[in-house]
Amino acid sequence: MDDAVDVVIQPRGRYVVARLSGALSWQTAPAVRRALVELLPEAGCVAVDLSGLRLRDPGCVAVFAAALEQAGGWPHAKLALFGADPVMLAQLRCPLVRATVPVADGLDAALAAADRPPGPAWPSGITAPDEERISRVLAAAEAGGGLARFVRDWLGVLLGYDSRQRSQLVRTLSMYLDRGCDYDGASRALGVHRSTVRYRVQRIRELTRLDLDDPDTRVMLQAALQALVRLGGAS
């Protein structure tokens, strides 16, 4: 069966929500791009709900940055994404997308991010040298005890706590590290108050007994979070 993407437009006054559903692939990406390019100049600000969209071809996430650029870029056109599943979220963290289009957990956080100009708060907190180190760590983990064991060693305590308490410490850790340990950036991405992020990070420190200020520790945790996504877990 051919891939298809449905686009449902929901005007909300000063912005528009575009709900995408179906499969994003090389076959459907051009249609998604055209729809966004047509919508952005008229709407001004578009928040794209990705909760119903499956990623078939990872490279297709570049369609969002391409559409924003074709529509004139910020501030003439404002675009933000939210609701992505862990698989798509991992791909949206690529430099091409994250430097241009903000990605958030919820609608409110997406709208807040869309109103800010592209800058240091948007890209991931992972630098290029860190990416290289993370790749080496993951390769070593796969060659050793495997990714599942690596994730258990570094995130097991938090995963267990989240499961028992129905909390979001792992997701908070991911957003906190991904935004360079910035409480404000993490709070916007999560759609919660800054004090909530501070409390959760302190709880993470207490449970793991890890020094989150140590660069080497942060690299290992970022590698574990990427491994979790590869294994099909939520980040």
CB 124 within 8 A of CB 81: no
Q: What is the pLDDT of residues 22-39, one digit of tens each?
A: 999 888 988 999 999 999
93, 156: one domain: no
The CA distance from 131 to 135, in Å, is 6
Quick one: what percent of the chain has pLDDT higher than 90? Answer: 38
Asked if residue 221 is part of any domain, the answer here is: yes
The CA distance from 206 to 122, in Å, is 28
Asked if residue 119 is part of any domain, the answer here is: no
Q: Is this structure's pTM higher than 0.75? A: no
29, amino acid identity: A
pLDDT of residue 77: 92
Q: In sequence order, which residues have a C-beta less than 8 Å from that of residue 177 and are 6 or more positions away?
A: 125, 126, 212, 218, 221, 222, 225
pLDDT of residue 46: 96
Q: Which of 63, 91, 114 is the last residue of a domain?
A: 114
Q: What is the pLDDT of residues 124-178, one digit of tens each?
A: 444 445 667 787 788 888 776 688 888 988 999 999 999 999 999 999 998 898 8
134, 34: one domain: no
33, 87: one domain: yes
**Which whole number is the average pLDDT over 82-104?**
79
The CA distance from 18 to 133, in Å, is 37
Tell me whether strands 16-24 and 5-11 are parallel, antiparallel or unpaired. antiparallel
Domain that holds residue 10: 5-114
Query: What Cα–Cα distance (Å) separates residue 128 from each residue in 93, 135, 183?
Result: 13, 11, 22
Q: Which of 57, 85, 114 is the last residue of a domain?
A: 114
Rg over alpha carbons for the chain, rounded to the nearest Å, is: 18
The CA distance from 128 to 171, in Å, is 22
CATH number for the domain that contains residue 82: 3.30.750.24
How many CA atoms within 13 Å lie on the side-chain side of 218? 18
